[in-house]
Structure formats: structure tokens, C-alpha cells
Structure 1
């Protein structure tokens, strides 16, 4: 925070109300008003003389005339004693306003890479640099590790990485060498004695002559150490330069706030990665190769991890078992329940897969006995590739979509409740007879939910996306599934970290 002597009292109640959410708003409390604002205009020589601020004066503050110097002609009337104080406080308020805007922009970032880019842009503005880079390298060794540049191409970052780490300012910070706790300034690299030859070569090639680096260490880490450090950030100057004391103070405040925000995003990123890995490990590593059909699957896991799954397993008599489903809930418990349910369905499919109703009935009984607090939707189909036929049973699940050159239609399935909702589940099965070249698309409800529209509108959008697929894409189930995802979920709604799990299983008959 910006430190201001307790003897300085200024009225800033209006600014407090406007900036109460500011990342550095605690500094305002140090100069909240006691008297009236008009008191600033009255001469108070003792208070002016007693200012002892740890924050350097703003650049636009009027400097006092040195004693004994010749006055300029014509001489200006002396400024009131309170004018210097007003000017200095105006500079501090301006700094706080700038920090408020920059920290708010940083807070609005929700992805780690986006936050790192914002950190580089804001820091460059504060220290007066044009380029920079941030190295994310958590000290606990759990990753993720990444390097992002501002005004530096990927090849430029590669050149910098060829410099010995101990010769770089941010490298010394990452290695925990002494002197990097408060930042490292290199005001003139080429005038520095003992500069590593490779560093000199790379700096000349990329055209930077000075740098300023700071560690990224959250204050919430307690006693900061190398294990708590998230990484380091460095800004590069085209000419010999270094930030003045005022700039260092402001960028230091900003970087400390940014480190806290990055620590939260890093933890979220690790959680998402762990949930995605767990979900992927519980799903088929690869789809089977069965004569007469082509298979393709697409899976998007939500940030908290969900219970959507798919499966395709070879069965006796050259048949194929197809399944998609979804378990209620989210998080590790839902992912674990999904894994248990999918494994059980595979066992029932091997024993009685030719009767999909019996498979789902057994699965429903297991769910009620072992997961009484959960319900699930599911589709299971017994596919006979030679006959181009699928015998299908569904439990509260959305109907499959049949896509061909001459028709695109939803398969009529019987209305049924999800598994675990009734004392005894049972619903009749249906048969799908496909023509050569047609594709049956199985999917989970997350595909519809991610659109943010009503169910009827979401179904209409799905049908239009499938019907509008180019003829060339219909020969490849993977390309067709990608087209459906892009069309139904545009503008990034198909991203892997969306709110809902999405599963598509495409089965094309040759």
C-alpha cells in the first residue's frame, strides 16, 4: 500500500465511495479526511514541512526552487503552502485510480493464459516498457509450466531460452538466488561487466538493452520461499533505462495483487486438469475396429468434472455394444459413480447384450442398491453391422439422430424415466434400420444444455446442424461430429472447459 504520514489529512470521501472495491483501496484509509476540504487552501507550514512519505513524489509535482538560485524573470508570485501538498496528493490519487483500473481488468480474467497476458500489458504500462515475458514455473513442481511473451514471437522466446538461466534476471529469481526478492534491474546490459556472451548476442539480436524483473510470489503463502513462488515476470527496454522509484513502487503493488489472482487461477487450472484426466481415464482409450461400421467419439469435460460417458465394445457374434449416459451431479464423486456404472454396464452387455432392456434393467437395480442418492440417464444399443440394425433401449435419455444423404431425423423412442427414479424401470426397445452411408449419432444432454436455449430450440438447432452438414463430411463420422459441435455450440461453447459435459458417439454404416 502507499504509505502517507498520519499528519497529512485530506478529504477524499467521494473517492472512497467510488473506489471501495479497489485492489489498493486500503491506502485511502491512511489519508481519510478529518477536517473540511477548504482547510487545504489555508497555509499550514508545520504540516507541509512534516510530510515524510515513503512514496516518491509524482512526476508532475512542482519541484521547489533551489536555495540561492537566480529567480526567473519575471518572478511568479509564490505558490500557497498548500499547493505542493495538493499537487502531491493529486498524484497519489491518480496512481491509486490507475491501479484500481488495472487490478479490475485483471480480476475479470478467468483463464490462466489470459491473466498472464493482462499482467504483462499492465506491467509494461507501469514501468514504461514495450516488451516483456512471464515465466510460470510453480515452485512446488506440480505445474503447469509455461512462458508467455508480450511483443515477442515464439522464436524470440526460444532465443532467450538459449541463454544460461543464471545469466538472466528472471532466471536468478526462479532459482531463488540472493537479491531477487525485491526485483532485479539491469539498466544497461551492454555496459554491465561480466555479461554472458550468449546473453549479449541474444539481446543485440532481439534489440533490447535493459530489463526489470520481479518475482511472482503470493503474500498468502506466509513466509515466501522458492516453493511458494509461482514464477517471474520481466519487462524489456529498447534503450538503456530502468524504472524510477515511483514506478517500482506501483508495479510492485500490482504484481503482488496479480500473484494472488494467479495463484487462484492456477489452483483452478490444476483441478480442471485433474478432473479431465480422471474422466478420460475412465472412458475408452480407443474405439474398437468392427467390420461394417466406422466409429468416432467426442468428449468435453466440464470444469468440475461430470458424469457423462460413452462406450463401444465388441460382443459375441460380430455384434457391437453402444452406450451413452449421464450420472447426476458433478465433481469427483460423480466421476467415480460414472466409472462404476460404465464398468457394470459392460459386464451386463457381455452377458445379455442382445436384449438392451434387460441390460438397463440390471443397471437400474444396481444403481438403486449401490447409489441410492443418484439417478442416471442411459442409452444402450445392440448393433448388428451386417444387418445395419441397432436394437435400442433408453432410460430418460435424448433420442438418437439418424443422418443420411436423403434424411435427417430423430429416432422415435419410448418415453421412459431415468434409472433410479422408479421402483422398477422397464421400457420397450426400438429398432433402427440404417441405409449404407448413414450415421447414427448418440449424444448426452450436455450438448443441448450448453446452448443455453430451451429444449425445443436446442433440438431444432441440433437437427439443423446435422441436416446442413456438407456431403463430403458425411463420409467421415469424426468430421461429422466436429461439424455438429461447431454448429450447435458456436463462439467457444464447445470448449473443453465449458459448464456441461458433452459426449457424442457417431456410428456410420458402410
Structure 2
């Protein structure tokens, strides 16, 4: 049987692997004719698949080959390293994009990542969904608001993003302007703005998905005449397809959140009453799915005032509907029995148990006489109010009671206290404590510290007190859409 040289088999296998797996025929190099083996101390060729290519050629071979193709070398290794680097970059950028929780954060991250991929320093992104449902916005990277305003003075039909958003036939894919200042066919206004802002080239991409259609357009700007390389175009194209899908999801979430916020606002007081001796302020932060936290303030006979906060269990439209029913019912009971907060909550508990036996709720109702600075309140599973002023900051001592709907018959004694002149009483829902992420005892301590730290100049303004407490308790942001907790703060300043 004819012996085949190990050297020949090694190089043939490497050549086939390179052609089949990598598809780069230009990576094959030729080596010098194989001669007699050098001494043992000579340099060895690299091993392939564990086989030493320096094994001597068999003497049974009739005619040794004079020239053999060498295994692909540094070129293929560089190509592989480049592909791995590109995949790693794409993975890191998409992970960062997936970590955004608001539409605005996602837009800014897309613009920054795209600029890094195409090698640009500046750019703008126009969000304008084709269905007209909004929201619509324009953001810039390395461009001030005045710069964006200057760009918007250019006729829309001659800009890259305008042609994409208007769905012109020549704007289905990327649009490249390699030399804006040297393009004689460019609109003079476009050339003037580009010269004043100092950019000489642009690269634009449509942002669209098959399900949602066109969402907007991203444009990256170069300081000198340039255009992205083919490799850069490929990478930013892959990234933009993923980013568009993410934007579509964030856009849907933003629309739902806006609708929930509008519905919640419609169910809450449009304005707070004005009663002599007390000033009011309210703040409400809505969770992504919309919770059932609510507040109310209604004038009662004899210049009295009814203040209430509460939370209906659950989230979404069901919780909002329950919130509306609870608030409307409590208003009716407060008008009839406002001087007795226990009777008001007892009636509310009976209504909840008869109409929605599977739902629970917390509530706190306070009957206030501002002229006498007297408050009588009762709570059902709700956190106690907090009094803060120049001389003290302390929680009101209330009785422990179960939430509405948990017991066959709810009843708890009321408590009476008197805020001093210049003091503010803070009513709030548990969402304020839970959003901190701390244990409840630590959250209560943080709330006490936040109220005690209100600047002296702001203590006579209930709006300033409420804003300071919210900023201190929630330093990571008041409008985080990833939160599942509503927050309600109702501040009553007694003169």
C-alpha cells in the first residue's frame, strides 16, 4: 500500500478547513519547497491538530511534492480575532441598551452607541412614529438645543432624517453624504447650517420594525468629509435592528404609562380646596402598570376639611377602577359622617366587602378643623402621618388596625392631635417607603430624616416640603418606569 506523507496530509487538511469554514481563499499562502530536514535544533513549523509537521517524508513515496500549500496563518487569526471583537462589542452595546428602563434613556443610548460604531462624534435622533400616536421628540449628541433648532430650519425634504421620515423611495435604507460642503447639488440652506455647526458629512439610518413600522431616524455627523467603512455599516445595521425592536417595546410601554397616568389624574382631584388656616400640596408618582394609590381633600361644613389617602390592592386598570370607586364612596361617607372618621372607614369597609370581596385596601381619613388646628383621624392598615416643623419631627401615634376587607367587621379607635402653627402634616402611602428598597424600619427612619432635613426657608411651603421629601427619599429618580409602586404624598401646612 502506498504511504502518504504526513506533511502532505497536514497541509491538505488545513487548506480544506480554511476553504470550508472561513471561506477566505486569499488567505492561502505558499511556502518554499520542502527539502531535507534540518538538524534537531532547527525551528519547527507550528503543529496542526496535534500532528508534528516536521515528521520526515516516507521513503516509500514515489515522488515527493516540491511545493505544498501552507496552513492559513496570521491573516486568518486576525480575521477571527476581528469577528470575535465585533461580536463582543455588539453584545456589550445591546446589553447596555437592554438595561435602559425609559424611552428617553433608550434613545440616548442608541445615539451614543451608533456614534461609536460608525466613528462619529455628534448626531441627532428624531423619534416620530409613523402611526402618529406619539410621542415625538428630537435629541442630540454633542449638539445643543440651539444647534438642533438650526438644523430644523433646513427644509425637511432635503435632510436625511426628513426623507426617511417622509418615506421617500430613495430613503428606504442608509443615506450617506460623504462631503456636504462639496456637494454642489445640496440645498444652500443645508450647506450654510453644516458650515456654521462644523460638520462636513453625515450617515443616516431609518429606525423601523416590521410590526410597528417606521419609528424615526438617526443621523451621525462627521467633522471632516468621511463615510463609515463597510464593516462599520454592517455592525451599526445589526445594532439598529435590535435597537428598533427595543424602542418599539419602550414606546408601547411609554404610551401605556401615559394613558394610565391620564386616567389616574382624571380619577383624582383636579385642584385642592382652599380653606382658611391651612395650605395643601399633593404629589403622585405613577408606577409603570399603574397602581391604586390615591388621595383626596374635600371641604366640609363649618370650614372643616376632610383629608384622605389610600391604596387599592393590585395594579393596572382593575386597581385604577377600584381606586375611583373607593375615593367616590369615601367622599360620600365623609359628607355624611365626616366628624367621625371611624364611621367613615367602617362604611367604606362594608361597601368593599359587599361589592369586591376579593380585594383589600388601606385607607386613612382625617377630619380637620384648621381654625382650631385640631385633627381627628382613623386608619385601616395605613402608615401613620408625620408632623414636621421648626421644633419637632415625629410620627403621629395611631392604633394598629387591619386593612379594609381582611376582617369580617373592621373597627379601630380614632386618635386626636393638634399640629402647632407653622407645622406640616405629611400623609403618604406605603409606596414611598417601598420604593426606597430598604426594610420598613429603615424606610421610616429615612422618611423621618428627610422631613427633619427640610431647609428652614422651605418649611412654610407645603409644596417645597413634599418635593424635598420625595427627592431625599428617592434620589435615583422620581419617574422610574421600572417601579411597581405608586407614591402619594399629601402635605397640609397649618398657619
TM more than 0.5: yes
Paired residue for 2:175? 184
- The reply on whether 1:136 has 2:136 as its aligned counterpart is no
Partner Cα separation in structure 1 for residue 306 and residue 171 of structure 2? 60
Three-state SS of the structure 1 residue aligned to 2:397 is: coil
- The reply on whether 1:146 has 2:117 as its aligned counterpart is no
Paired residue for 1:195? 186
Paired residue for 2:269? 284
Q: Which segment drifts farther, 231-240 or 435-444?
A: 435-444
Paired residue for 2:116? 125
Q: CA deviation at 1:42?
A: 5.4
Partner Cα separation in structure 2 for residue 304 and residue 256 of structure 1? 27
**250 and 409 in structure 1: CA distance in 2 versus 1, 3 angstrom threshold:** closer
Three-state SS of the structure 2 residue aligned to 1:173 is: helix
Q: Cα deviations across residues 222-241 of structure 1 (Å, max 9, x unaligned)? A: xxxxx611101111111111
Paired residue for 2:399? 414
Q: CA deviation at 1:103?
A: 1.9
Paired residue for 1:309? 294
Paired residue for 1:320? 305
Aligned partner of 1:374 among 356, 359, 366:
359
Three-state SS of the structure 1 residue aligned to 2:176 is: strand
- The reply on whether 1:482 has 2:495 as its aligned counterpart is no
Partner Cα separation in structure 1 for residue 17 and residue 406 of structure 2? 80
**387 and 262 in structure 1: CA distance in 2 versus 1, 3 angstrom threshold:** same
Q: Cα deviations across residues 307-340 of structure 1 (Å, max 9, x unaligned)? A: 1111001111111111011111111110111011
Aligned partner of 1:92 among 83, 87, 98:
83
CA RMSD of aligned residues (A): 2.7
Partner Cα separation in structure 2 for residue 289 and residue 140 of structure 1? 43
Paired residue for 2:6? none
Q: Please tell me whether the aligned partners of residues 11 and 69 of structure 2 are also in contact (alpha carbons under 8 angstroms).
A: no
Alignment map for 1:63-102 (pairs within 5 Å)? 80=70, 82-83=72-73, 84-102=75-93
Q: Which segment drifts farther, 145-154 or 305-314?
A: 145-154
Aligned partner of 1:264 among 249, 254, 266:
249
Q: CA deviation at 1:88?
A: 3.4
Aligned partner of 1:214 among 205, 216, 223:
205
Kindly name which structure, 1 or 2, has the bigger radius of gyration based on alpha carbons: 2
Partner Cα separation in structure 2 for residue 460 and residue 237 of structure 1? 52
Partner Cα separation in structure 2 for residue 351 and residue 310 of structure 1? 19
**494 and 407 in structure 1: CA distance in 2 versus 1, 3 angstrom threshold:** farther
Partner Cα separation in structure 2 for residue 41 and residue 94 of structure 1? 29
Paired residue for 1:230? 215
Q: Cα deviations across residues 320-368 of structure 1 (Å, max 9, x unaligned)? A: 1110111111111101110111011111111221121111111111111
Q: CA deviation at 1:467?
A: 2.4
Q: Cα deviations across residues 62-115 of structure 1 (Å, max 9, x unaligned)? A: 8999xxxxxxxxxxx999462344443443333223222222222222222222
Q: Which segment drifts farther, 209-218 or 94-103?
A: 94-103
**313 and 177 in structure 1: CA distance in 2 versus 1, 3 angstrom threshold:** same
Aligned partner of 2:232 among 241, 244, 247:
247
- The reply on whether 1:499 has 2:490 as its aligned counterpart is no
Partner Cα separation in structure 1 for residue 11 and residue 450 of structure 2? 68
Q: Which segment drifts farther, 321-330 or 100-109?
A: 100-109
Partner Cα separation in structure 1 for residue 162 and residue 209 of structure 2? 18
Q: CA deviation at 1:244?
A: 2.6
Q: Which runs of 5+ in 2 are unaligned?
A: 1-8, 31-66
Three-state SS of the structure 1 residue aligned to 2:379 is: strand
Paired residue for 1:68? none
Q: Please tell me whether the aligned partners of residues 375 and 420 of structure 1 are also in contact (alpha carbons under 8 angstroms).
A: yes
Partner Cα separation in structure 2 for residue 495 and residue 108 of structure 1? 13
Three-state SS of the structure 1 residue aligned to 2:416 is: strand
- The reply on whether 1:44 has 2:50 as its aligned counterpart is no
Three-state SS of the structure 2 residue aligned to 1:297 is: strand
Paired residue for 2:416? 431
What TM-score, normalized to structure 2? 0.85
Aligned partner of 1:401 among 370, 382, 386:
386
Q: Cα deviations across residues 372-418 of structure 1 (Å, max 9, x unaligned)? A: 11111111111111111111111111111122322222212122111
Q: CA deviation at 1:45?
A: 7.4
**174 and 402 in structure 1: CA distance in 2 versus 1, 3 angstrom threshold:** same
What TM-score, normalized to structure 1? 0.82
